[in-house]
């Protein structure tokens, strides 16, 4: 072995790592040096490898390759990080990156070649597994009935499935464009536009939080609005502070929403008719329940309560006196003051109403149950049926108490004529903090009271002394 070849091997041994193997060969391809890395990689001891041709490392289908590579580098070429395959002693087929260079003596004559092998088998197996997984995942995503869209950290659409095109009613190009020129937009349930910064996916990218069951409408010129229920999930790597992408899945709820709207309208009609049952017997106009519902809606809005609460109390409040269907006519329609015994019977309408409405899972009826039970409770604890006090009384009961009292005073009842709005308001004020919640009463006082009163030619007001 020449001194130059030895120096080249010494240099290569410095570069040899746990996963690299260094092999020196003569110009004829005979192995002349076998490093410890080569031993670990291929499984041959030096005495088993030195003196044999380098083709021993090639699989049968690549048997000519070592000789071809050797001639190339001896001819002046240099092979770097060329991916190929070699075979270990136990028959394992290895994926390797091969760097091959010629070694020349002081006179320029070629004295051999040096090969460095890096095992990338595990990496390639992992890549193949990932590719297969991606193919399976892609097939799964494509088979989903849900639309799926992925966006990068800048909000650009980078992937989507065919269901996304179908649900959105857009072409692949339109989905991928992300509506750059406003070809489509999102709206809220109330019809107001959603700024792009408030899209569920963009919110997930900005906050790193998932968005669940967000209802949005997709508006495309010339097409009916499509309503979607959207879930978005940010993708965050362990070494990253924020999301690098977001995946959103969505389903078309347009038909479900239409059916739900019809169901809600039908349920609202059923509730209205149920409320009418209780007032047909003691209200000639059959409007008391509707007026109370409207007043409660306005008070709830004045109190700054959320739209869901306002929607429910508007429909639940008219059921406050449904329990009166269990009160005998001789008491309910008596055109005079009730005796103490009769009043005790009248008071049971709260419990009767609560029992009629309870055990329902419908949100409106659950609220109506609380109203029926508590709308005659008093702020000072002297009401009925439970003698609740202050904040113990559900807010819905406190609101209905004010609306019911005002409407009862300003409209004819079997036992008395209507009072004026001014008189009714003075009466309410006199009971702030005793019968009524002061805050709720203050909200009622801020309303336009004349619009809450219906007058007929038969109605007139009498002085309080009468």
What CATH number has the domain bearing residue 153?
A: 3.30.450.20
Q: Are residues 347 and 365 in the same domain?
A: yes
Give the β-pairing of 185-187 and 157-160: unpaired
Residue 179, pLDDT score: 55
Percent above pLDDT 70 for the chain: 84
Q: Are residues 293 and 205 in the same domain?
A: no
Greatest alpha-carbon pair distance for the chain in Å reads 134
Q: Please compute, for residue 305, the number of CA atoms within 13 A of its CA located in the half-sphere on the CB side.
A: 21
Dist. CA 158–CA 329, nearest whole Å = 71
Q: Are residues 233 and 264 in the same domain?
A: no
Q: Are residues 98 and 69 in the same domain?
A: yes
Query: The tokens of 221 are what?
Result: 């010129």
Lowest mean pLDDT among 77-91, 153-167, 391-405: 153-167
DSSP 350-375: HHHHHHHHTT---HHHHHHHHHHHHT
Question: Backbone dihedral region of 108: left (phi > 0), alpha (psi from -120 to 50 degrees) or beta?
Answer: left
Q: Are residues 318 and 395 in the same domain?
A: yes
Report the pLDDT averaged over residues 40-64. Answer: 94
* Model confidence at 457: pLDDT above 50: no
Structural domains counted in the chain: 3
Residue 133, pLDDT score: 61
Residue 109, pLDDT score: 83
Would you say residue 391 lies in a domain?
A: yes
Would you say residue 28 lies in a domain?
A: yes
Q: Give the pLDDT band of residue 245 (cuts 50, 70, 90).
A: confident
Residue 15, pLDDT score: 47
The model's pTM = 0.49
Residue 165, pLDDT score: 84
The domain containing residue 57 runs over which residues?
A: 3-120
Q: Are residues 110 and 28 in the same domain?
A: yes
Q: Give the pLDDT band of residue 256 (cuts 50, 70, 90).
A: confident
Would you say residue 458 lies in a domain?
A: no
Q: Are residues 310 and 446 in the same domain?
A: yes
DSSP 148-207: EEEEETT--EEEE-HHHHHHHT--HHHHHHTSTTSSSEEE-TTSPBPPGGGSHHHHHHHH
Q: Are residues 343 and 414 in the same domain?
A: yes
């Amino acid at each position: 072995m020449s001194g130059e070849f030895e120096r080249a091997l010494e240099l290569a041994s410095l570069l040899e790592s746990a996963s690299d193997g260094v092999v020196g060969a003569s110009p004829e391809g005979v192995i002349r040096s076998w490093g410890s890395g080569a031993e670990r990689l291929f499984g041959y001891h030096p005495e088993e490898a030195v003196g044999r041709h380098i083709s021993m490392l090639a699989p049968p289908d690549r048997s000519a390759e070592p000789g071809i590579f050797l001639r190339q580098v001896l001819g002046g070429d240099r092979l770097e990080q060329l991916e190929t395959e070699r075979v270990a002693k136990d028959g394992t087929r290895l994926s390797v990156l091969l760097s091959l260079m010629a070694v020349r003596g002081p006179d320029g004559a070629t004295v051999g070649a040096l090969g460095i092998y890096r095992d990338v088998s595990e990496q390639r197996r992992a890549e193949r597994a990932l590719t297969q997984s991606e193919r399976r995942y892609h097939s799964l995503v494509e088979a989903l009935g849900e639309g799926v869209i992925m966006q990068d950290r800048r909000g650009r659409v980078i992937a989507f499935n065919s269901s996304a095109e179908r649900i959105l009613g857009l072409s692949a190009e339109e989905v991928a464009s992300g509506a750059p020129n406003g070809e489509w937009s999102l709206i809220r349930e109330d019809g107001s536009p959603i700024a792009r910064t408030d899209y569920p996916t963009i919110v997930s990218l900005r906050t790193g939080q998932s968005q669940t069951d967000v209802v949005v409408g997709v508006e495309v010129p010339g097409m009916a609005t499509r309503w979607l229920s959207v879930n978005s999930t940010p993708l965050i790597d362990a070494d990253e502070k924020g999301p690098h992408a977001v995946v959103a899945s969505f389903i078309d709820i347009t038909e479900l929403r239409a059916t739900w709207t019809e169901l809600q309208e039908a349920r609202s009609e059923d509730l209205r008719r149920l409320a009418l049952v209780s007032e047909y017997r003691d209200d000639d106009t059959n409007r008391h329940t509707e007026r109370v519902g409207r007043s409660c809606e306005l008070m709830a809005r004045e109190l700054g309560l959320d739209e869901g609460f306002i929607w429910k109390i508007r429909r639940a409040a008219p059921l406050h006196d449904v329990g009166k269907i269990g009160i005998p006519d001789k008491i309910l329609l008596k055109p005079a003051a009730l005796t103490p015994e009769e009043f005790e019977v009248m008071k049971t309408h709260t419990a009767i109403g609560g029992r009629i409405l309870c055990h329902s899972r419908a949100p409106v009826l659950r609220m109506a149950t609380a109203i029926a039970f508590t709308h005659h409770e008093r702020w000072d604890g002297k009401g009925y049926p439970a003698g609740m006090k202050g904040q113990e009384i559900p807010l819905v009961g406190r609101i209905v108490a004010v609306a019911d009292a005002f409407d009862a005073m300003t409209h004819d009842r079997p036992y008395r004529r209507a009072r004026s709005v001014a008189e009714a308001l003075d009466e309410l004020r006199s009971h702030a903090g005793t019968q009524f919640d002061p805050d709720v009463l203050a909200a009622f006082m801020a309303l336009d009271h004349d619009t809450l009163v219906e007058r007929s030619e038969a109605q007139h007001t009498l002085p309080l002394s009468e």
